[in-house]
Amino acid sequence: MSIDHRRLLLAMFQAAVNAADPALCVPPHLPPRPVGRTVVVGAGKAAASMAAAVEAHWDRPLEGLVVTRYGHSRPCKYVEVIEASHPVPDEAGSKAARRILDKVSALTADDLVLVLISGGGSALLALPAQGLTLAEKQSINRAMLRCGANIAEINEVRKHLSAIKGGRLAVAAAPARVVTLAISDVPGDNLSIIASGPTAPDPSTRDDAVAVLAKYGIEIPATVAKLLNHEISETPKPGNPCFATVTHRLVATPQRSLEAAAKESRETPDYLP
């Protein structure tokens, strides 16, 4: 008897998708409820779906804001959803990032910041560092996308030109407890690379960012060069006290999707025509 290969492949594909479906992968990783407020923030192409999954399984008051790509919004009751541009950032993403920083500021140790991160989050959290304009960030971003740099290199540069990425969101949220739920889309599932690690310590340096720009011959404005030559552009590093109350949970990864597809092929009955 022959196997219906089309039906098998479709089943394997669906198993892989289900492994990264926010409605299925987010709820098991939700943290204990806090004594104080719950503020949900996030960015990525799946951010709205992740927020909807949180709302469906959260039994306490919550509030917040997430930013997702145009056309990827989902209705949420308590978490505001903003749409913005990806992969080149726009003003909507920049304004949303500023509002996210404002929402996590002035919290207490009794409060919880639930951060929802997925692919595309770096471009969607486009808040220029002090002294830079959005147009300058857009120009650098376009050049990085054209030059053939890999995602780790692109995000090394992004982190050092940002007011929110590279761990800076965690700095703003302290002393609140921060739990980041991440859907990985990067090789190795490096938390400092996924969405440019807004709540993760950054092992890269501003010198690394300069080296990436030089490697690909990217001409940078004087304001960008001035920023990268100043210590203000350096990101918070491992060991920084702000990360003492930060927890990261990978709720979905490419490897888990592959494993789900493989399991479907092994454990289901033969796909007979």
The secondary structure of 187-245 as a DSSP string is GGG-TTTGGG-TTS-----HHHHHHHHHHTT----HHHHHHHTSGGGPPPPTT-GGGGG
pLDDT (0 to 100) of residue 265: 85
Q: What is the pLDDT of residue 136?
A: 93
Structure token pair of residue 58: 């959260």
The Cα–Cα gap between 35 and 111 comes to 7
pLDDT at 33 over 80: yes
From residue 26, how far is each of 74, 130, 136, 190 by CA, in Å?
Answer: 15, 34, 35, 19
CATH class, range 5-127+162-201+236-267: alpha beta
Q: What's the whole-number mean pLDDT along residues 4-15?
A: 88
* C-alpha torsion 105→110→111→115, nearest 10: 100
Which residue, among 43, 21, 59, 9, has the nearest Cα to 169 in the 3D structure?
Answer: 43
Across the chain, mean pLDDT equals: 94
pLDDT of residue 87: 92
**Residue pLDDT, tens place only, 237-266:** 999 999 999 999 999 999 999 999 999 888
Q: What is the largest CA-CA distance in the chain?
A: 70
pLDDT for 5 equals 79
Q: How confident is the model at residue 6 (pLDDT cuts 50, 70, 90)?
A: confident
End-to-end CA distance of the chain: give it in Å, rounded. 9
pLDDT at 268: 66
Band of residue 270 on the pLDDT scale cut at 50, 70, 90? low
Question: What is the percentage of the chain residues whose pLDDT exceeds 70?
Answer: 97
pTM of the shown model: 0.93
Predicted confidence (pLDDT) per residue in 145-167, tens digit: 899 899 999 999 999 999 999 99
Q: By CB neighbour count within 10 A (0-12 exposed, 13-18 middle, 19+ buried), where does 267 fall?
A: exposed
Cα 273 to Cα 270: distance, rounded to the nearest angstrom: 9
- The string of pLDDT tens digits covering residues 167-213 is 999 999 999 999 999 999 988 999 999 999 999 999 999 999 999 99
Question: DSSP secondary structure string, 45-100?
Answer: TTHHHHHHHHHHH--S--EEEEEEETT-----SSEEEEEE-SSS--HHHHHHHHHH
